Homo-oligomer: A and B are copies of this chain.
Amino acid sequence: MRFLFLGDMVGRSGRNAVFSALPGLVADYRLDFVVVNGENSAGGFGITEDIFRETLSSGADVVTTGNHVWDQREALEFSTRQERFLRPLNYPKGAPGNGSGLFEAKNGARVLVANIMGRVFMSPDLDDPFACADNLVSACPLGEQADAIILDFHAEATSEKQSMGHFLDGRASVVVGTHTHVPTADDQILVGGTAYQSDAGMCGDYDSSLGMEKEEPLNRFVTKVPRGRFEAAQGPATIAGLAVEISDRTGLAEKVSAVRIGARLKEQRPDFW
């Protein structure tokens, strides 16, 4: 199974880059399943239902999020209707929407996708991501109810991300991090067969501060006094993510490659498709 993950789309630049490029990638690589993180797609803050729909139209099967999930208040509502929209799974019981779902890929495979948020330096108020991940893969194990399991682990600390990778190693197809908006160069298949990358990076303008215009963030670091608002950067975007060839037999990863296309970063494409 051919799987592609794209990291946080940031603002108009990031989402338009995805909307332009994704249909071609799906066709060229004959992708079976695509997940895109959309938590910053509406001007950097959250996501609207329209953007969510256009992301699906462009070729995504599922849209994940993170700490910005509720920035656009309409997400509190449409998350309850849209099954292909995921908020972090480790919200307490009663939170709107879903944190995971079982979906059918183009090749017929049953793909379990989950979005979990880390706690270190981030969200001490969410439930234990490790217990949450354990419940997830226990309830719907790889090779039994699921042919592939994808986790978007939205977290800050590399320690927590690596431990999650090891924790699910052999029990998930892919553990890919998001949230730092910078792609890491540690894409690899862990010893148990799980594809892993600490962070997919963002789809956005890399001449920026995390995809936002760099002036105001820098002003705050230097003067500590707010002068304006944070605005999404408008320059050309790089698409960043992870491509994984998942075994149809075991559900584990056979090949993995970071993906970086466009603008400022060194181009990287899977050489196995």
A27 within 8 Å of B by Cβ? no
Given A130-B222, A158-B210, are A260 and B185 neighbors across the interface (CB < 8 Å)?
yes
Contacting residues, chain B, for A218 (C-beta < 8 A)? 163, 166-167
Stretch in A102-110, A144-152, A264-272 touching the partner: A264-272
What is the CB-to-nearest-CB distance from A124 to chain B, in angstroms, rounded to a whole number?
A: 3
A145–B181 alpha-carbon span in the complex (Å): 36
Instruction: Given A124-B119, A209-B166, A226-B70, answer yes or no on A221-B185 (Cβ-Cβ < 8 Å).
Output: no
Of B188, B198, B221, B265, the residue contacting A160 (CB under 8 A) is B221
How many residues of chain A are within 8 Å of chain B by beta carbon? 65
**In the complex, what distance in Å separates the CA atom of A210 from the CA atom of B209?**
25
The 7 A-B pairs at the shortest CB distance, nearest first, are namely: A124-B124, A185-B185, A119-B124, A121-B121, A183-B185, A158-B180, A158-B182
Residues of A within 8 A of B (CB): 70, 76, 91-92, 94-96, 119-128, 130-131, 156-160, 162-164, 166-167, 180-188, 190-191, 198-199, 201, 206-210, 214, 217-218, 220-226, 240, 258, 260, 264-266, 268
